[in-house]
Structure 1
């Protein structure tokens, strides 16, 4: 049990350190002075730790906004016969994530058809 807590603490510290590094890099890229960038990036990590501390959070391998860029390509590959495991490997996602994505795209397409989004405009 002690090893589990140590491992969790290590992972938590790695996550917060990575967050600080990423925020620092972004702030530097926007020409924020080094000292201010350091303070701000650490403040962001502290805020997340304080606000979300104690919660179990799972980060998907690929965020929804990134998926939006390729969801039609994945759907098209699936419609052409690719299997869920193949799609998961090809797009570096979990199989469950691919299944959810396909269901989401199908729902969007169905909704668009029902609302007439795919209908040609009528002339008045």
Structure 2
């Protein structure tokens, strides 16, 4: 694969191509629509982020969040061992994820007890 930063503009071209490929594969768009969508996304990124030094993380946290949601969705209260085996994780890690996700759900549902009603 060619280095996407080897010449000005190639990063946007690569982005447009990747978005178009994804649109064809996941959204089942025609090649023409997918290419137009890819170009539109690339131009939007250029308008928003153009001229700036940009660091793009590898998405580890996003992937972890998806895994955590999947673990929590699969959890029935007594199947930690099966979940751990399915995802090649330790049982302790599954317990940790379930605990963290349960606390997040409680916090979301409970809200802030000290927030005023008038928005201040």
Q: TM-score range by the shorter chain?
A: 0.3 to 0.5
> Under a length normalisation based on structure 1, what TM-score does the superposition of the two structures give?
0.44
TM-score w.r.t. length of structure 2: 0.45
Q: Which has the higher helix share?
A: 1
